[in-house]
Structure 1
Amino acid sequence: MPDRAAQPVDRRLPTDEARDLISLVRDLARREIAPTAAEEEDSGHFPRELFGLLSESGLLGLPYDPAHGGGGQPYEVYLQVLEELAMTRLTVGLGVSVHTLACHALARYGTEEQRTAHLPAMLGGGLLGAYCLSEPSSGSDAASLRTRAERRGDDWVVTGTKAWTTHGGVADFYTVFARTGAEGPHGITAFLVPGDAEGLSASPPERKMGLKGSPTAQVHLDAVRVAGDRLLGEEGRGFEIALAALDSGRLGIAACATGLAQAALDEAVAYATARRQFGRRIADFQGLRFMLADMATRVEAGRALCLAAARLRDAGRPYSGQAAMAKLLCTDGAMKVATDAVQILGGYGYTADFPAERYLREAKALQIVEGTNQIQRMVIARHLVGPEER
């Protein structure tokens, strides 16, 4: 089958610096990620060394303050970097998004002393982060979490189990949400926990349908002592901090979904223009042409909504509802585009010799992580008509 190289996405970027950044990311992805992506995903290899390279290249702190080692890029640009990475390998794009999520609580709610002490290493010093909110008994109902933190002198002792933690067991730091007060959302506090803290351990990674190269594991905190100066924000405001991080994180997932959908579309176009049946390209059959047209429209619509929400965020305007819409539209769109890509490739699409089947397995995860798409619909409806009456 002759190879048809995908055309780079025609991006509308706000500055020459942003255009140079995207060129850098594309070159890095082509050289360092693409050659081993399929093999490493198949074997379940997590490219920890690659995240070190991304950190050295300034790609793990793009939307944060340069004063603390960040890249100072608007979300409009950062999300397009994520898309480029996810287009090449979702494990990498998602990993950067999760790391950015893990840095959010400190960057936005930490004191200046905390930011000065910890952010430079987190954003550009080779460290990798994880975000610990979900638990075995509290997923969508995150406010019912049971992990507890008790004050012991100037320190805190944290005990509990976190679930579905991306980078669980390999992260250098964990943003952990634990209960310090009464039941419900107002008794939760955020902590920055070192990855090598005594009493912190991880279960073997979950055996997932897709994203096999991205470790997802339970994280156990067995009387982990956390210094008092690692409490982030005000005591009892952790749930508010968690939700603010998730608004930004959902844009990251939307961008990753857009990159995955673009990759699936590119694969389908390449196959359809090379494969011949009944004496002509299968791309010349109207039914298949219409499928490709619908796929391309879903990709562009998702990208537009994602970036529109990012621009609201960059302008300091409310964007929570739009973030939920972007996460919903982009991830549902990625699932549909990936499904259609498999169909266009026919039997080949169902084999591991082509990446379409991997895209399909990975797209499913994006409809679940950082708030299922059913939760996104609840968030969107709440912005439209207010909370549900009880």
Structure 2
Amino acid sequence: MSSSVIDLLATEARFGAQNYQPIGVVLTRGEGVWVWDIEGNRYLDCLSAYSAVSQGHCHPKILAAMVEQAGRLTLTSRAFHNDQLALFYEEIAALTGSHKVLPMNSGAEAVESAIKSVRKWGYEVKGVADGQAEIIVCADNFHGRTLGIVGFSTDAETRGHFGPFAPGFKIIPFGDAAALDAAITPNTVAFLVEPIQGEAGVIIPPAGYFTEVRELCTANNVMLVLDEIQTGLGRTGKLLAEQHEGIEADVTLLGKALSGGFYPVSAVLSNNDVLGTLRPGQHGSTFGGNPLACAVARAAMRVLVEEGMIENAATQGARFLQGLKDIRANTIRDVRGRGLMLAVELHPEAGRARRYCEALQGKGILAKDTHEHTIRIAPPLVITSDQVDWALEQFATILTQDFS
């Protein structure tokens, strides 16, 4: 490392809270699938800011929309109307088939907003006794880091010493429809679940699972809330991951790629009267639905569709997945994925995945470890066949090494 890199890392360590442990690279510029560090080294980004940069770094059309809107009007609060919000509503509803939209900022805010909304629906529409609403969630979930959300996490690192936590949540195994059936009671208002568990290591449920889940929720008047903050907007090769089983959620949560990485934008989408229970003054956000966010999100959605990124994710994801499966390495325990949401799970005896990610950095690849032995791979949806093939060569070189 150069002295400037060492100085920057030392300054971070001196002043910053130590709540992250980044790979030792200092990035300064990005374009498409590539990022550059301050020493001029180029890397293929295989994390995409946890899928927030799905449209590629600094997409010129999203950038232009942001610059134009920033020069006109950035924030009004929802105390007044702005000329971008209605257009954002109209376009995201048309894209996703939703009936109502609640704009927020971060993904965690969208999750918290959905929890509030389904509870309110449970009391005012379903008729659950006040204070008795239950929400079912899955073990190994990741829905954010607010106090309310970590209260129903099963990750000790996420929960440890942050309690006491709010009641009202039941935890069941992911991918087990029978467990969901057994957990539902008359007080159950919602099932909150990720279509694919990303932070858990790209865990894909059994085929037919969500078909059964949809049937159970419908039969018991339970709202199916799909957290598509990572999986949504093309990441899995479909606009929404729910489309792989041909179902529709009652409530869908979007974020991350909704702004193409330019600005925090999230949304709660509803296909029924869940959001209809909210009245003025009962929920809000100073920045939610601001004109800058809406203009950016509109451009981000537009390029996703117009430039064929969703179809490209399906094509290149299949190529990447097969290429990873073709790597013959004793270190590999499993390769899995859907679209450009991929993971390589290593045998525990092969050593920690972080060692492999650090070695990949030396080959011009930036990837991220999760749960000690899994490497997550999620490049921008604009990646090409040649770039996939080059990346596979680097992965093959590193995965055939033994860092145990």
Q: Aligning the two structures, in what range does the TM-score lie when normalised by the shorter sequence?
A: under 0.3
Bigger RCO (CA 8 Å, 6+ sep): 2
Higher percent of residues as helix: 1
Q: What TM-score do you get using the length of structure 2 for normalisation?
A: 0.25
* TM-score normalised to structure 1 length: 0.26
